[in-house]
Structure 1
Amino acid sequence: MEWGDQSEEEPREPNQAGGMGTLWSQEISPEERLPVEGSRPWAVARRVLTAILLLGLLLCSSVLLFYIFRNCGPRPCETSVCLDLRDHYLASGNTSVAPCTDFFSFACGRAKGTNNSFQELAKRNKNRLRRILEAQNSRHPGSGEEKAFQFYNSCMDTHAIEAAGAGPLRQVIEELGGWRISGNWTSLNFNRTLRLLMSQYGHFPFFRAYLGPHPAFPHTPVIQIDQPEFDVPLKQDQEQKIYAQIYREYLTYLSRLGTLLGGDPNKVQQHASLSISITSQLFQFLRPLEQRQAQGKVFQMVTIDQLKEMAPAVDWLSCLQATFTPMSLSPSQLLMVHDLEYLKNMSQLVEDLLLKDRDFLQSHMILGLVGTLSPALDSRFQEARRKLSQKLRELTEQSPMPARPRWMKCVEETSTFFQPTLAALFVHEAFGPSTRSAAMELFTVIRDTLITRLRKLPWMNKETQNMAQDKVAQLRVEMGASEWTLKPELAQQEYSDIQLGPSFLQSVLSCVRSLRARIVQSFLRPFPPHRWQVSPWEVSAYYSTSDHVVVFPAGLLQPPFFHPGYPRAVNFGAAGSIMAHELLHIFYQLLLPGGCLGCDTHALQEALLCLERHYAAFPLPRGSSFNDSLTLLENAADAGGLAIALQAYNKRLLWHHGETVLPSLDLTPQQIFFRSYAQVMCREPSPQDSHDTHSPPQLRVHGPLSSTPAFARHFRCPPGALLNPSSRCQLW
């Protein structure tokens, strides 16, 4: 039957085919063909229509979600700075290494050795200085800029230096009274010659004298008398065979210098041999720092008069007055002496030599000056120095130093003597306002994250937590360069006391005197600001305890560690972890025995012991160690710095969307964060430097990463892998 209403006015008649049916004399309307609501066919149709509608909504939602994720998820950063960083990561890393087993090699172990991120960055900064110095810009006559450019060009003019030969140095020797091995000489006036060497040539043959902060009053300068820096790599426990070989090589070098200056070879060798003997005797007088620490005599405060009584060979007042002009010194002036016993023995040796070997003592003093000035002389002197360095490194089992291009030496010399001028030029080009603003923003987030974490440290009581938070809040930060460096007039500063020419050596000596005078003047300022320990183009951050200031030079906040256009993961992982590490230096004293009276000593020591055991579980390169207490503190700062930077990064992602990634690396933002952290530590593994309190680079990567559960999670490290241990430590 057909679907429709039954009309009461239409009679039903028998179907001619023998069945009941309805005979229509007019056409049925479309409305009459619709099914009746509630009937079974309509219910089926409704379910079909609903299913089609839901399917359509689902498809539309999928398209919409795909569009949202495509536009709100991490997008590849394809700017030139990001592509350069991508290429750098590809070139410096080794992705064939399993990241959960050896992340240091994964990030740093390129096919041909290990890259050194800090060395490469330092070289790029010097290249930038080179471009500045070689730019053909007009300079104001007589300005600091013009003199800096003239000095650099004079250093690069090797034709003029070769043409001058040894002439400029012979003139210097004549001013000192000459010497017996060549030409005319006058009998040695020891203190006159010593005074000239110290004040006019910056050479200290028997001890070092320099201005430094007073140990009890950091902003008060004090003249410090320290052990000399010997040109020969001697050691207290040196084997006799090695010592003999070093003696021969150094004798050959000094003889070569004397011959280049016109001396008779036989006479030169005799004087050179006595000079080495004097150096050897002086070296035997030295007392190692460890011995002086054990005796409680790291330094002693004495007056000039008292030092004159104990070491009478030196006219201390006249020598120091000439060296530190315009300071006004008197016999009652206090000095900070680092090794008084050495000075007593040195004085006795000088007195003996003045009685028996006066001419040899004069030659010893002049030969030392010749060695100091040799970089400013022609290629014959520099080649003699290069051969000596090569031989000495072979004897002491050090890898040979790669040859450095001339421009690099000249950049370093120019930046030493014209630091204020070059600092302003470098910062203007490499650390503009937008970069500085981005760096300060990053530091603020890192600092605030540290303050938050301090509130939750279980080994600090509430009072200590509040004091620690106040300490961080009161910290000063100097970003890029010191404030005085950024003053425009410094770039135009005149160096009226510098006289350039007629030879490059004379230019160097004039710059040496000017630099020393500026240093003295800076110490004599009534309320000096914090004196930077690094230049703005250097790559070392530090925290100053005495001034309670943390310093991040512009040279450090450069690619590959920082750039405003980088993904946030890169800036937080690299520069952010460096910033957090330096902030934790504020609290080193708290971690030392008895350093935190308001701490749960047991909980603190347990955390430190756990950290020490955790690091001890990693294999170390040959010849390295980390048992020193300062190394443990640095390990704590590494691990804490990474944790703080990671928390700050995650917090930043909640506030700001639109994170980017580096194209073609197949790394998530979190993986890029850890990759950039490891990039900071990349350098060639080598035996630990005696002055370096940090762990070897592999440990500085693996120790903190293995203490971070998020690393194992984001790199899907299986349980028990080297960087996914069963237990972890947390100090900060």
Structure 2
Amino acid sequence: MNNRYLSAGTAALLALAGCTSTKPAAVTTAAAAPVATAAPAPKGVGLDMADIDRSVNPCEDFFQFSGGNWLRSNPIPSYASSWGPRNLLGNRTQDLLRKILEDAAANRSAAPGSNAQKVGDFYASAMDTVAIDRAGLAPLKPELDRVAAVRNTAGLRAEIVRLQELGAGPFFRAGVDVDEKKTTQYAVQMNQGGLTLPNRDFYFKTDARTEKVKAAYRAYMTQAFELLGAAPAVARRDAATVERIETRLAKASRTPVELRDPQANYNKLTVAAAQQRYPALDPKSLLAGMQLGKAQDIIIGQPAFFDEVNAVLNTETLPDLKTYLRWHLVRSVASAMPTPYAEAAFRYSQALTGAKQQAPRWKRMQAATDQSLGEAFGQLYVDQAFSPEAKAKALEMVANIKASMAEHIQTNTWMSAPTKAEALKKLNALRVKIGYPDVWKDYSALPIARESYLTNLLAARRWENRREAAKFGGPIDRNEWGMTPPTINAYYNPPMNEIVFPAGYLQPPFFDPKADDAINYGAIGGVMGHEMTHGFDDQGRQYDSEGNLRDWWTPADAAEFTQRAAIVGKQYSAFSPLDSVHVNGQLTMGENLADFAGLTVVYGALEKQLQQRYGNGPRPSYDGFTPEQRYFLSWAQLRRQNIRPEALRQQIATDPHSPGQYRTIGPLMNMPQFQQAFGCPEGSKMTRSAADRAVIW
């Protein structure tokens, strides 16, 4: 499936339930006296008290209070660009995945064609650097020869199709996905692409950091062309050619913020109309080459961008266009090429991320196996790592959060009855996927052998693209997943109106059946609420209960939502983690709204759960913290993050998620529940006045 939507509380015990104190908690600072207790506070599961920096007042900086000691004790490893709890869970998961892969690679008697054989042979070929270096360019030579053999525009278009199938992505991205305005059928879709730098803005910014990235980009291209056999002067000229063509494409590309408008990205044309508008691109021939000749319509994401693609194909010389294609072919497979290519690619990525060295090869190749054979690999993982009990507990939590969301919709004070009815209809229709697919992908038609990693990689890409194309004209596959089972992430898919939580996410510290409710609701519950409320953020709210891109809001309600969301955007745009660098409140709007709404909705679900368990009686505290405080602590401790300046700048420029520190404090500053839980006085940094507070749900 198309992965566009990929979408990723603290102080001493205040008092018994019902406390309404607005005085700061007694042990929030190092100088404060401890609260007297009759016995040591019971120990809890899920929070490490040593991570808390008690020299910081939680009402002043909850990010530092909740994890300041951890941040100081966990520097970023040399191979990483950032470091946080997700990385630690990733390491633990990768250790298990490595054992699965090494066992599969060592099993030379696996049945031919079985998942075990394909996973084992793919990983074995990926780890055999001696064979990769010895083979040199030989495995890629047939594809390089195809590019070199192009003699005319028809041959060029055929090669563009070929490279689309091989995952090189020259000029644009194309494929089959659900039609967002008729979600009972698939549609052919084409969107802007064809760039090497992270997004269009990198081609035009002139600040020192961007110039450093562009210098690394040029050096990478130049070295790659030299490795392909070009003389230094020719390699520099070829690199300049690629940059010139990409700059043309970048100028016509939409910005990351503009790409967040789903209505603007839906432009359905008949194939005949597209053929007339883009004759040099020749959509009819492209579709035929992609096994999609039966399509009558195309959804063009960014029509003006494709005007420029058409112009590029009309005005650039054939040799220059072939140079551009050759670069994108090589760039797309650098990790599977001999060592000098992989090292050149890493030097470029260093300029973007600040990483000091590459991750160990087994980690990189484990990720590559997951990407290419994710569900074959995933079946082997799930057999060892995910229990039915964990799935049942997760489903129970989702049901409770869903019920809380329904209550928030029903009691909403600014939404009209007709819009509420549509919102509840959408919520009730929400599909939930937990752990792993009910129906696994069938890899039987994908040939995998031990001889060549590059050959395996290209075969897997071509198989996946053809599998996608084969869906066209058939029924919607609602069993399909956009993430693999070991993935430590989750997503909401608007056209399918579904939330998806892979097994990799459903383990400590994000999910622990041994922990109290407050911990699980603050951790994985916060993620569940986040993904669920994506259906009602500034993008998700534009899709109806069936996933169709349709306006179901009254004009007054839509205007009220936009006004309230703008407050969130303004708050985040004021956050500045580095000198002269501010969070982009518009780019991060959807994720920030999901954090805001999710935390509020899940807090309500936790309160109902606690009421069911304890009624109006005392609620147990662990480690000296109330359930409400533990809820906010749990949310915050999973967003601890040390990040290199280079990576932070790139995140702010390209990522729709705000940096971890602002995902921690941004929502909490607007929640009276947080203020009450920690007794924060009016005027403290972690509270906003009623007039400045953002309230959505």
- TM-score range normalised by the length of the shorter chain: 0.7 to 0.9
1:677 aligns with 2:635: yes
1:536–1:555 CA contact under 8 A, matched in 2: yes
Q: Label 1:639 to 1:270 Cα distance change in 2 as closer, same or farther (>3 A).
A: closer
Q: Distance in 2 between matches of 1:248 and 1:387?
A: 11
CA displacement 1:45-68 (0-9 Å, x = unmatched): xxxxxxxxxxxxxxxxxxxxxxxx
Q: Aligned equivalents of 1:262 and 1:229: distance in 2? A: 24
Structure-2 change in CA distance of 1:157 and 1:111 (3 Å)? same
Query: AA paired with 2:343?
Result: E
Which of 304, 317, 332 is the matching residue for 2:284? Answer: 317
**Aligned-residue RMSD, C-alpha:** 4.0
Q: After superposition, what is the alpha-carbon deviation per residue over 1:290-315, rounded to whole angstroms, capped at 9, x for unaligned?
A: 78999x96453334444334333344
User: How many angstroms apart in 2 are the aligned matches of 1:638 and 1:534?
Assistant: 21
Query: In the alignment, which residue of structure 1 is the partner of 2:534?
Result: 585
User: Is residue 369 of structure 2 the alignment partner of residue 419 of structure 1?
Assistant: no
Q: Distance in 2 between matches of 1:609 and 1:272?
A: 42
**Would the alpha carbon gap of residues 527 and 602 (structure 1) be closer, same or farther in structure 2, given more than 3 Å must change?**
closer
* Partner-residue secondary structure (3-state), 1:571: helix
Q: 1:316 to 1:675 in 2, by over 3 A?
A: same
Alignment-derived partner of residue 544 in structure 1: 493
Corresponding residue to 2:601 among 638, 641, 644: 644
Residue 377 of structure 1 is matched in structure 2 by: 337
Amino acid at match of 1:654: Q
- The aligned counterpart of 1:387 is 347
Counterpart position of 1:433: 388
Which amino acid counterpart does residue 443 of structure 1 have in structure 2? Answer: V
Deviation, 1:169, is 2.7
Picking from 36, 42, 55, the partner of 1:96 is 55
SS of the counterpart of 1:209? Answer: strand
User: Quick one: distance in 2 between partners of 1:545 and 1:286?
Assistant: 24
User: Residue 195 of structure 1: which of 144, 154, 158 is its match?
Assistant: 158
Within-5 A mapping of 1:174-253: 174=145, 176=146, 178=148, 188-199=151-162, 201-232=166-197, 235=201, 237-239=204-206, 249-253=216-220
Alpha-carbon distance in 1 for matches of 2:281, 2:576: 52
The match for 1:105 among 64, 68, 73 is 64
Percent identity reads: 27
Could you state the TM-score of these two structures normalised by the residue count of structure 2?
A: 0.77
In the TM superposition, residue 411 of structure 1 has moved relative to its aligned partner by: 1.4
* Offset from partner CA, 1:447-487 (integer Å, 9 cap, x none): 223333444333345665555445433332112223224xx
Q: CA deviation at 1:675?
A: 0.8
Secondary structure of 2:637's counterpart equals helix
After superposition, residues 488-507 of structure 1 pair within 5 angstroms as: 493-500=442-449, 502-507=451-456
The structure 1 residue matched to 2:268, chosen from 301, 305, 312, is 301
Offset of residue 103 of structure 1: 1.0
Which residue does 1:117 correspond to in 2?
Answer: 85
Alignment of 1:12-31 (within 5 A): none
- 3-state SS in 1 of match to 2:505: coil
Question: Conserved in 1, the CA contact under 8 Å of 2:287 and 2:293?
Answer: no
Residue among 361, 366, 380 paired with 2:326: 366
Look up the equivalent residue of 1:496 and give its one-letter code.
A
- Is the contact between residue 529 and residue 602 of structure 2 (CA under 8 Å) also seen in structure 1? yes
1:187 and 1:359 in contact (8 A); partners too: no
Contact 2:268-2:297 at 8 Å conserved across structures? yes
Q: CA deviation at 1:156?
A: 0.7
Give unpaired runs (5+ residues) of structure 1. 1-68, 179-185
Paired AA for residue 367 in structure 2: E
Residue 313 of structure 1: SS of its match in structure 2?
coil
- Specify the structure having the higher radius of gyration (Cα): 1
Shift in alpha-carbon separation, 1:291–1:682, aligned structure 2, 3 A: closer
Counterpart pick for 2:102 among 134, 137, 146: 134
Which of 238-247 and 408-417 deviates more? 238-247
Distance, in Å, in 2 between the alignment partners of 1:239 and 1:132 is: 47
**CA displacement 1:112-162 (0-9 Å, x = unmatched):** 568523344345444433232123567433212211111011101112112
- Aligned-residue offset at 1:508: 1.6
Cα deviation code 1:600-625 (max 9, x no counterpart): 89997897688778878987665224
Once residues 368 and 129 of structure 2 are traced to their aligned partners in structure 1, the CA distance between those partners, rounded to angstroms, is 15
Match status 1:704 vs 2:667: yes
Q: Secondary structure at the match of 2:176?
A: strand
The match for 2:413 is 458
Work out which of the residue numbers 651, 654, 668 in structure 1 matches 2:611.
Answer: 654
CA contact (8 A) 1:463 1:598 kept: no
Alignment partner, residue 148 of structure 1: 119
Query: How does 1:69-88 map onto structure 2 within 5 Å?
Result: 75-77=42-44, 82=45, 85-87=46-48
Q: Give, in angstroms, the shift of residue 370 of structure 1.
A: 2.0
Report if aligned partners of 1:107, 1:678 keep a CA contact under 8 Å in 2. yes
- 2:453 & 2:406 partners in 1: Cα distance? 53
C-alpha separation between the residues in 1 aligned to 2:566 and 2:173? Answer: 41
Question: 1:409: Cα distance to partner?
Answer: 1.7
TM-score normalised by the chain length of structure 1: 0.74
Letter in 1 for 2:427: V
| 1:163 corresponding residue in structure 2 | 134
Q: For 2:325 and 2:215, how far apart are their aligned partners in 1?
A: 20
